[in-house]
C-alpha cells in the first residue's frame, strides 16, 4: 500500500512512452510511483507484467487511468507526453490540480496557439506570441505555479539500463529544483539545476532539428568531420533561435544544450536522428512517420522554427534547408551542397 502523507506520498508520471517509462523507473528507485497511461489496456498490461514495450518495470510502479486519483495522491507530477497532446492532457488534469502541486515536465516540443478555425491565408506569420513552451501551457491551463522541466542527454534506453547519465531540472523556483534533485539523483544519475526555465526548454526543443540533420549525414555515409561541423554550427543556430525566443546563451552551452545535442546527434537511439537517417536512405517522410511508434518532435519543430526564423530575420540555414527536405521534396544531398556553400565568415559571433 502507498503511504499518503508527507514525503512518502507517491510521485506521479503521466505518459507511458519510452521516456515516461524511463523516468518512472528512475523515480521508483526511491519512491512509489503512480504511472498514468491513457489507454486502459496499457494499464491492465502494466499491472500484470514485469515489462512494457520491451522495458522492465520497477515493482514500485503502479499504473492507473484516473487523473483525479493521480492528482489527489501525488503532490509532485512529471507530465511526459508528446507536445501535440500536451495541452489536451493539461485540460483533463487541471480541474484536479491545486496551487500546492509541483509539475516537472519532460516534453521537448512546442505548442502553437492559433484560432479555433486554424490558420487562414490573411493571418500574419507565426511569431513568439503564437507559440508556447510546455511550462507556459501548464501555467495557462492550471493553477499550478511551481513548474519545472527536465532536459539533457537522456536517451531512454540507456536510462532504463541504468547507464551513467545526468539531467537538468530547470525552474524559476529553487524549491522545484531541489525536489527534482531529491527525487531523481542517485549514484548513476546526476541532476543539475538551472533558473533559466525557458532557455532550458528551448534547448530540448531546438536540438531535435539538428539531430534530424545529423541522421541525414549518417544516412549519406559521411564521417566524423562532417558530424562535428554540423554539431558546432547547429549549436550556433540553436543560440540564435533560442535568444530570439527568450532564452539565454548560458543554457545552450550547458548539459541541456550542447550535452543533449551531442547525444542526439551521435546516437541511433534518437527518434529524430532516425528520421534524418531514413530520409537520406530514400524513404519519404510519410513512410517514416507511419512506421514510427513514437513522436519525433523535431519534424513539427522544423516547420514552426522555419517560419519563426523567416519572420524574425534570424539566420537559420540548417533549419531552413531541413524544411525543404522534409516538406518540399529537396534531396538531402542537395541540402548539404547548399550548406557547404553558405557564406559563414565568423566562427563565434554570439558572445
pLDDT tens digits along 135-178: 999 999 999 999 999 999 999 999 999 999 999 999 999 999 99
pLDDT in tens, 89-107: 999 999 999 999 999 999 9
Residue with the larger pLDDT of the pair 50 and 185: 185
Query: Percent of the chain having pLDDT more than 70?
Result: 93
- Lowest-confidence region among 67-76, 91-100, 194-203, 246-255: 246-255
Q: Report the pLDDT averaged over residues 123-143.
A: 92
CATH class of 6-195: alpha beta
- Which of 207, 303, 324, 331 is catalytic? The answer is 207
pLDDT at 342: 78
User: In the structure, what pLDDT confidence band is assigned to residue 5 with cuts at 50, 70 and 90?
Assistant: very low
Q: Helix %, strand %, coil % for the chain, to 5?
A: 50, 15, 35
> Smallest Cα–Cα separation from 325: which of 296, 299, 287, 295?
299
pLDDT at 115: 61
Question: For the chain, first and last CA: distance in Å?
Answer: 54
pLDDT at 118: 58
CA distances from 159 to 33, 55, 258, 325 (A): 17, 11, 19, 32
Domain limits of the chain? 6-195, 202-340
CA distance 78 to 138: 12
Is residue 341 flagged as an active site residue? Answer: no
Angle, vertex CA 154, rays to CA 243 and CA 180, nearest 5:
80
Say if residues 176 and 100 touch (Cβ distance below 8 Å): no
Is residue 3 predicted with pLDDT exceeding 70?
no
Architecture of the 202-340 domain: Orthogonal Bundle (1.10)
Amino acid at each position: 500500500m502507498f503511504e499518503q502523507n508527507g514525503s512518502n506520498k507517491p510521485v506521479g508520471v503521466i505518459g507511458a512512452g519510452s521516456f515516461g517509462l524511463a523516468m518512472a523507473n528512475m523515480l521508483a528507485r526511491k519512491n512509489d510511483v503512480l504511472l498514468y497511461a491513457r489507454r486502459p489496456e496499457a494499464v491492465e498490461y502494466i499491472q500484470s507484467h514485469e515489462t512494457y514495450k520491451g522495458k522492465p518495470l520497477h515493482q514500485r510502479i503502479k499504473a492507473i487511468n484516473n487523473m483525479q486519483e493521480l492528482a489527489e495522491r501525488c503532490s509532485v507530477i512529471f507530465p511526459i507526453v508528446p507536445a501535440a497532446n500536451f495541452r489536451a492532457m493539461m485540460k483533463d488534469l487541471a480541474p484536479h490540480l491545486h496551487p500546492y502541486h509541483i509539475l516537472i515536465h519532460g516534453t521537448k516540443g512546442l505548442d502553437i496557439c492559433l484560432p479555433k478555425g486554424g490558420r487562414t491565408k490573411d493571418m500574419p506569420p507565426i511569431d513568439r506570441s503564437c507559440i508556447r513552451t510546455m511550462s507556459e501551457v501548464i501555467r495557462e491551463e492550471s493553477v499550478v505555479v511551481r513548474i519545472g522541466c527536465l532536459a539533457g542527454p537522456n536517451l531512454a534506453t540507456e536510462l532504463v539500463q541504468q547507464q551513467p547519465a545526468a539531467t537538468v531540472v530547470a525552474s524559476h523556483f529553487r524549491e522545484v529544483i531541489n525536489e527534482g534533485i531529491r527525487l531523481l539523483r542517485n549514484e548513476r544519475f546526476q541532476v543539475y539545476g538551472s533558473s533559466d526555465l525557458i532557455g532550458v526548454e528551448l534547448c530540448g526543443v531546438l536540438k531535435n532539428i539538428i539531430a534530424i540533420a545529423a541522421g541525414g549525414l549518417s544516412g549519406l555515409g559521411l564521417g566524423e568531420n562532417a558530424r562535428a561541423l554540423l554539431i558546432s554550427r547547429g549549436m550556433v543556430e540553436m543560440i540564435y533561435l533560442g535568444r530570439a525566443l527568450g532564452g539565454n546563451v548560458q543554457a545552450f552551452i550547458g548539459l541541456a544544450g550542447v550535452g543533449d545535442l551531442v547525444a542526439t546527434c551521435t546516437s541511433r537511439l534518437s527518434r529524430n536522428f532516425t528520421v534524418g537517417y531514413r530520409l537520406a536512405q530514400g524513404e519519404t517522410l510519410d513512410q517514416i512517420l507511419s512506421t514510427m511508434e513514437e513522436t519525433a518532435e523535431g519534424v513539427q519543430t522544423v516547420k514552426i522554427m522555419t517560419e519563426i526564423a523567416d519572420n524574425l530575420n534570424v539566420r537559420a540555414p540548417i533549419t531552413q534547408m531541413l524544411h525543404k527536405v522534409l516538406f518540399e521534396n529537396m534531396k538531402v544531398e542537395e541540402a548539404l551542397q547548399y550548406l557547404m556553400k553558405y557564406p559563414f565568415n565568423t566562427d563565434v559571433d554570439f558572445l
